[in-house]
Structure 1
Amino acid sequence: MTIFSLVASHQTVDLSTVAHLANGASSLDASELDVETRGLVVLSTCNRLEIYGETAQDSVATDQKAEQDVAEVATAIFEELSALSSLDYSTVESSFDVFFNDAVAHHLFTVASGLESAVVGEREITGQVRRAITAAQEEGKASGNLVRLFDNAANTARRVGQQTLLGARGRSVVSVALDLADDVAEKTWKDRSALVFGTGAYAGATVAALRDRGCQNITVYSFTGRAATFAHKRGVKAIDGASLPQALASADVIIGCSGSSDPLSADEIPAGKRVILDLALTRDFAPEVADLPDTELITLESVRLAAPEEMDSSVQLAHTIVDNAVEEFRIKQKARTVDAAIVALREHTMSILDSELEKVRGHFGCGGAADQVEFAMRRMVKSLLHTPTVRARSLAQEGRESEYIAGLEALYGIEVSQSQEKVVRDIPQADAS
């Protein structure tokens, strides 16, 4: 089995394509794929779509075999996304970068720490990473390896926030967007009225950011009818469809965070001077809204271009923290793999021993002679297992555990299953020294 990730982000793909892919991924069902997987986790944000998974093969794969397995699964996912997003296959395939094994951890840890965001160091992505794995767990789509991967990513992001100044800067997509609005909107935040579309985590972050800037007149609208509950929890006002035209007309700043499948057209926006922030991945406002007189439309692309390149000492330190965390995770994963190999060799050897002991008992019965032979044979097997066990751990530290696994298969016909790792703790200490 092999962990992999398929990544389409603002760094390599236009946001419109990312939005179409995200729409398709929202309906992605692993059971509908032509190949089997052990788990799939979808991480979808305002500027990226990432799909994490684990191939279904039970045996530990060599790098070449792992690459082949991932390519097969990626092709099946691209075909499904093509059908779900109404994009041709070549567009889908060219939109994604493919990672597997150690590269997956490095990418996710970097993303979770905000180092690949449109706003470097933003903290919103960490919560999105946590919610992605939580949702996958609740739906039964997260394998143990994927859970460990995401948990380590969240821990790495926490360390970056604690040990660098990035966490203290408060930079985020929302904060940069509000800065842009502040440059062109009339009045001050204390006197402005804001209308927020959406009730998700992104909308919640937006309401909090507005409050931090002193905005007191905040109204929330939801296309799905969840505004009342959302607004009550945050102490803001909710409106329904009947009140929406008046709310649009009176708002100084309108912020789209919902990603509605039916964006508002220019005809639905009342005349008047206002700023509209369209921060949803799938736009809440049609592009022609930008052509309205006295209306300033700020999109995610505007935010990306306005976000500063913060390649300072804090960013460099953050990258070092990520690199160290990736190495720690790699060592842990290699140890788990080699533990599975140790268990596989032990199970193979002990099965032969048990077979031979049956013959001994058949010949000597259950007397003292049989006990002495069994004691000697078990002691001999323990001694024989000692060196291969020590050698396995040594090779794992050198990153050569695949050689050990290949040797077991070549010499003994043993296929190492990752599921065997769960019983490694049962190996006697003398064997595992």
Structure 2
Amino acid sequence: MFAFGVYACLSIRLHQRLQTTAYDLGIFEQAVRSYAHLRLPVSELKGPGFQLLGDHFSPVLATLAPLYRLWPSPITLLIAQAALFAIAVVPLARWAECSLGRAGAVAVTAVYGASWGIAQAVGFDFHEVCFAVPLLAFSLAALGRGRLGAAVAWALPLLLVKEDLGLTVAVIGGLVAWKGARRLGLVTAVAGLLGTALEVLVIIPAFSPAGSYTYWDKLPGTNSGYGPAHLLYQATIGMLTPDVKVMTLLALLAPTAFLALRSPLVLVALPTLAWRFFSDNPQYWGTGFQYSAVLMPVVVAALIDALTRWPVTHVRYALTVSVAATVLMFLQAPLYQLVQPATWHTDPRVATTHSILDKIPSGATVAATNHLAPQLTARATVTVFGFPGSRPNPKYIVADVSTWDWPFATSTAVVQQLNDTLGHGYRAIAHQDGIVLLHRT
């Protein structure tokens, strides 16, 4: 409960301070809103009538539809994410208590609960991977305790979370086979591989406007013309260069005192690390955003598994080092914001912004800048102002001209586009504290 409260508190506070974004909280809210009204998931923020099943295969989002129908708000998604992240500590702590004692369970709870990967995800909007975290925790805890059927049962739903997680299911299947349930493990591994192949090669292209998997262009050499030699380099030396990739690995293993490397369970992290480090997108390489959340239950499970084979005195020292490393990294992670006074100070500009947004009627079409969009997605049809390919001529345009916001390069560019828009059928009906609201006449 404490972890849930901390995660929810930070997420909600960031949203209240206008620090959530269209990409990604707004997109996921539009998806869940579609499911809540019994439609396939569509996000206007990605483009007119954009089918999200043509972007990522995440039908698990439909499970939030009943909650969202009762409380149509982005906060519903943030609270659900906090709960899912917090639930993951339960199987890990129970396993640790059975194997390492009460003190071990407390230490493991701290290592997972304050882990930087979870903190980064909580501090950056909402993402579908929050469903994968408890599934992995339950699956790996069952696997570590020899409950192989339960491990598979918890792993298979990962196929409904995101298309790459079928590869993770395949590794879990391989470990199940290695532990003795050969047929069950091989069937699970094949199901994972076929699931990813089906989603990437058939289902997503069927919904995609381009007719293919959108993220092929994130592979190295796709747009640069490099040949097989470059791909070979990227698959070998390139997996550990530039240095940010090594730093990510060190950050991942340090909270386990590097003991996770002593457990075969750490292999479950390889598919996620492989696609991230093989990609030529630098955002995937570091410790930011939500990309490492699914790795946290993996390395903590590997730590528990490794410690079950150590003498008690060594276990105490190892857990002390793990907790100390977690605390040091916690000071750099978003959860640390909760003990900073600035987090609890509400700028008067926030109230001004909401008073301007209240002038937009429910059901209207709106183009909003990135940080204003999720304040409107629950009650309006919202696109990103300045994003190429957005639906033209929305009834309202609202923009924050006081600061830079994606997709603009500078705040001056925002002002320039607003000025251009004023000459094409729009007039300003509000302008205060850098928030400008235009209405199409």
- Fold in common (TM above 0.5): no
Higher strand proportion, which one?
A: 1
Give the TM bin, normalised by the shorter chain.
under 0.3
Higher relative contact order (CA closer than 8 Å, sequence separation 6+): 2
For normalisation by structure 1, the TM-score amounts to 0.24
Higher helix proportion, which one?
A: 2
Structure having the higher Rg: 1
